[in-house]
Each structure stands twice: as C-alpha cells, then as structure tokens.
Amino acid sequence: MHPTYQKTLSRVADFLSKNDDFLLIAHDHPDGDTIGSALALYLFLSKMAKKVFLVCASPVPEAFGFLSGRLSFQQDFLFGDYQSVVLVDNGDLKRTGFSDRLKKYRRQKKTIINIDHHPQNDIWKLANLNLVSHQVSSTAEIVYELLTRLNKSLIDPDIATALLVGLYTDTGGFQHPTTDRQCLLVAAKLLSLGAKLKLISENLSGRRSFAMLKLWGIALKNIKTNKELGIMTSVITQKNIIAAGAAEDDLAGVVNMMSATPEAGIAMLMYETSDGNIRGSLRTDSDKHDVSILASCLGGGGHKRASGFSIKGRLVVKDGGVEIE
C-alpha cells in the first residue's frame, strides 16, 4: 500500500482508540460490502466499550438476516449525540442518505472519517480523514486491516463473518477480476478467525425464493440488446415487482448474470423503487469499458466494472421501448 495510505491508517486507528462515541453510516440501498464492513466495525468498537450507533437510511435486506448484530442497524439518528461520524463504503455524499445533515455536521467542526474503496468523490472534501484505497476488492479489506491494527485478538467469528460477506459480495463470490492475491489472503485469514463461508454462500448464493425466481424471469424476459453498442438492458417496474410478490432486493444478482453473457459488453438493469425513483445498476466484464463514466453522467458513480445511479421518475414501456417520465 502507498505510504500515505499507511499513515492515514495509523491516524484513523489512533483516533478510534482515543475517542469514545461514534456514528457509523452505511450507504442507502445497502449491499454486502457496506453491511459487512459497517457491522464488523460496530461489533469491534462495541467490544472496545465504545458508544457506537449504526445507521443505514434503507432497510437491510432480509438475505443478510444470518449476520449476528444485523438488528443493530437503525434507519435514523439524533444528530447531536455523536462527536464523530464514520462513513463506510458510501461512494459519494448523496448515497449516505443524510447529505444535508453531514454538511451541517462538518460546519460544526466535528470529525468525519471516510473509509472506502471508491474513486475520489464529494465526500473527500467533507471528511477530515480519508482512509481510501482503489487497489482492494472491497471496503471490507480496509476495515480488516484497520481492526488488525487496533487489536486483532478482538476479531471474533461474528466480526470475521461480517467482513467476509464484504469480500464475497463485492467480488461476486470470488469470481470478479478484483479477486486478487491480497483479497484471497485476507479471506483466508478471516476463515482462520472463524468466518463462516458456507453460511454466507448458502444465504447469499444458494437460496432463491419462488418470488425472486419469478422476478428474475421477468427481468430476463425484458432484456434488449444493442449489438452495435454492445449494451444489454432490462427494466423492471413496480408493477412487475408486485406481480411477482417480490421485493426490490430480490433483483440483486440479475445484472451480474446479464453481464456474464458474451453479447453484453455493458449490462444495465433499471428498476423502479417504491419511493418514486429509478435505480440503475451497470456492470461490465470487459477491460474496454468503464461503466462509472456512464453512471456519473446520470448523477451516480462507482467503479470501472460496477457502478450505479438513481434518478427521480418512473419507467413507461411504449411500443417495445422504454421512456422515463
């Protein structure tokens, strides 16, 4: 790792050791990396007898119900109760779900720590400390190194499992190109600390409800391919979700399946959320494309191979095409 990163790692570890109350924020519409990383940090700091509050603007998907401490996530908080905020895997300020309050918090000269593996974004100017690396598979890798620096003996099987969830989900079950030597080395260390890989794979990859399968069938049926541009798209409306008896979280994994097909240079899934937004997920398995550029044009962001965005509106299917209103 770069010397600047190592210096920041030491500063963050020192800050967490010397201070006593923390607000941890996972990003909205949470995935396994933000859930696992934030939860691991919450459980670890709690073992250090710190006052810790864990929040996510969106509910944690039921698929992560096997994680110890999952019910610790709250969806709101009293702003003045905490001296320090730790943002875990948020990507950008909008994705925290609390952007206005965080800006106010910074004006009060309280400490904001950003732990992430996304490209530089608007959080960087807001945060006092940016513990960020683009060289790792997941934020969970960074949190593992931070906890090891603090006190490795406090990493119990529950914490190790939460961190392994972050690695597992952000690498697509250790199948994405981000699954490098360092990622597998960290995974091996977590397994030696009691992480339950079988439990993770059974819950996140091995189980598919009937409602989920129905929704996936609709998403796959709705696929359109532009062969000239090499883009494969699919759309899901709220009516589709309700008709399947499913939830928005049941769409997790669809876009990865789409991107694995030879015809998809870029795969994009757009779906309506219950709060009147359209969320887009972008994936590519090709070194020729950078989906974060497309996502940024739509107010989102992410990584070269995996990005997303959210816009106000609804999807209207007309004459075999789709419009956004």
Whether residues 164 and 217 share a domain: the answer is no
User: Is this structure's pTM higher than 0.95?
Assistant: no
Q: Tell me the pLDDT tens digit for each residue of 23-53.
A: 999 999 899 999 999 999 999 999 999 999 9
Whether residues 192 and 225 share a domain: the answer is no
Q: Which pLDDT value is given to residue 178?
A: 86
Query: Where does a domain end: 204, 232, 257?
Result: 204
Whether residues 102 and 124 share a domain: the answer is yes
Whether residues 131 and 231 share a domain: the answer is no
Query: Where does a domain end: 169, 204, 239?
Result: 204
Whether residues 196 and 215 share a domain: the answer is no
Asked if 94 contacts 308 with a C-beta cutoff of 8 angstroms, the reply is: no
Whether residues 135 and 56 share a domain: the answer is yes
Q: Which pLDDT value is given to residue 130?
A: 97
Distance CA 273, CA 36 (A): 23
Residue type at 141 in one-letter notation: E
Q: Which pLDDT value is given to residue 11?
A: 97
From residue 36, alpha-carbon distances to 20, 82, 153 in Å are 22, 22, 19
Whether residues 26 and 91 share a domain: the answer is yes
Q: Which residues contact 317 (CB under 8 A, 6 or more apart)?
A: 235, 237
Beta strand ranges found along the chain (DSSP E): 21-26, 51-56, 84-88, 111-116, 129-132, 224-226, 231-236, 266-272, 277-283, 301-302, 306-312, 315-318, 321-324
Whether residues 230 and 190 share a domain: the answer is no
Whether residues 49 and 197 share a domain: the answer is yes
Whether residues 186 and 289 share a domain: the answer is no
Give the count of domains, the chain: 2
Distance CA 315, CA 239 (A): 10
Per-residue DSSP letter, 129: E
Written as one string, the DSSP assignment of 220-267 is HHT-EEETTTTEEEEEE-HHHHHHHT--GGGGTTHHHHHHTSTT-SEE
Q: Which pLDDT value is given to residue 149?
A: 97
Whether residues 191 and 216 share a domain: the answer is no
Q: Which pLDDT value is given to residue 155?
A: 98
Q: What is the pLDDT along the chain (325 residues), one digit of tens a residue?
A: 677 899 999 999 999 999 999 999 999 989 999 999 999 999 999 999 999 999 999 999 988 999 999 999 999 998 777 889 999 999 899 999 999 999 988 888 889 999 999 888 899 999 999 999 988 999 999 999 999 999 999 999 999 999 999 999 999 899 888 899 999 999 999 999 999 999 999 999 877 889 999 999 999 999 999 888 889 999 999 999 999 999 998 998 899 889 888 888 999 999 999 888 999 999 998 888 899 898 888 888 888 888 889 899 888 877 666 767 6
Residue 20: which CATH number?
3.90.1640.10
Structural domain span for residue 271:
210-324
% of the chain exceeding 90 in pLDDT: 67
Residue 295: which CATH number?
3.10.310.30
Listed residue (135, 182, 144) closest to 165, CA to CA: 144
Asked if 74 contacts 103 with a C-beta cutoff of 8 angstroms, the reply is: no
Distance CA 72, CA 54 (A): 6
Whether residues 40 and 120 share a domain: the answer is yes
Question: What tokens appear for 251 in the block?
Answer: 């769409």
Written as one string, the DSSP assignment of 166-186 is HHHHHTTTTTSTT--HHHHHH
